[in-house]
Amino acid sequence: MKKNVRPKSPFHRKTILITSGPTREYLDPVRFISNDSSGRMGRALADEAVRRGASVVWVTGSPDSGPRPGIKTVPVVTTEEMSRECRRHLRRADVVIGAAAVCDWTPVRKSRHKIKKGPRTRLTVRLRPTEDILRRLSSLKRPGTVVGGFALETQNLLKNARRKMADKRLDFIVANDASAIGASESSACFLDRRGATVFFPRSTKTRLARRILGEIASRWGNG
């Protein structure tokens, strides 16, 4: 009598590259521009991907990103560092999920020393855009690699998410509003390049990660 054999996960022997957390852009050695991202979503995606049998490279700007079983953790600080590490690991990636809340702006000049405050001090900071990491990865990926990301919007959620997906040439995008930043629970919407739209009700980041990876597996799991 044959034993029941559990089918292998679509992610078995696949490599998933995941980014998470904020990045920091320094004004001087102690002050920086950043955001309130906790990195929970990327962390949950990394854990769930390992549970499904994938090899995971987790490039994260979260300051509390300690070692996690089965995950290659790559800590970074700036957007430039995150981009460099993602490009270094892109060649082996079958799926890329950009869940990081990357800082979109960086100072044109960084002071070598702490900027002193005086009673009449006025500070003007000139900023320039940082590199668009996901757009760069989409342009460099090998054939067959699936690249997706997140769109956090404060208005016109689906319209702006679809525009971002097209602009960055992504295979899918997960849209959510600003209430998701730093929260332990959130709702979201999964959109793919073929026009499909799947709504996820409010839930924990762990459950949301399962649903997101389930959508990816159902579309590209046999690739």
How far is 221 from 223, CA to CA, in rounded Å? Answer: 6
Task: Write down the pLDDT at residue 177.
Answer: 83
pTM: 0.91
Q: What are phi and psi of 112, to 5 degrees?
A: -70, -25
Strand blocks (E) in the chain = 15-20, 25-26, 32-33, 55-60, 71-75, 95-98, 105-107, 127-129, 146-153, 172-177, 185-192, 197-204
Q: If you compute the radius of gyration of the chain from its CA atoms, what whole number of angstroms results? A: 19
- The torsion angles phi and psi of 84, rounded to 5 degrees, stand at -60, -45
Residues 65-108 have pLDDT tens digits of 666 778 999 999 999 999 999 999 999 999 999 999 999 999 99
In the structure encoding, which two tokens stand for residue 16, read together?
Answer: 């998933």
220 has pLDDT over 70: yes
Choose between 196 and 65: higher pLDDT: 196
pLDDT-above-90 percentage for the chain = 74
CA distance 219 to 27: 43
**Residue 163: which residues within 8 A CB-CB, separation 6 or more?**
none
Distance CA 127, CA 170 (A): 27
Strand 185-192 relative to strand 172-177, pairing: antiparallel
pLDDT tens, 3-23?
A: 544 456 788 889 999 999 999
Which superfamily, per CATH, for 15-107+124-220? Answer: CoaB-like (3.40.50.10300)
Number of residues that make up the chain: 223
For residues 169 and 108, what is the distance between their CA atoms, to the nearest angstrom? 28
- Domain ranges in the chain are 15-107+124-220
Q: Is the pLDDT of residue 57 over 90?
A: yes
More confident residue, 59 or 2: 59
Q: State the pLDDT at residue 66.
A: 66
Q: What pLDDT does 30 receive? A: 94
Q: How far does CA 33 lie from the centroid of its chain?
A: 18
* Contact in structure between 130 and 84 (CB atoms under 8 Å): no
pLDDT-derived band at 194 (thresholds 50, 70, 90) equals very high
Options 35, 156, 160, 176, the catalytic residue: 35
One DSSP character per residue, 136-170 reads: HHHHHPPTT-EEEEEEEESSSHHHHHHHHHHHHT-
What does the pLDDT read at residue 222?
Answer: 63
For 138-156, the pLDDT digits (tens) are: 999 999 999 999 998 888 9
Tokens of 133: 């990491």
Asked about 35 being catalytic, the answer comes back as yes
* Residues 189 and 200: beta-carbon distance below 8 Å: yes
**DSSP state letter for 184:** S
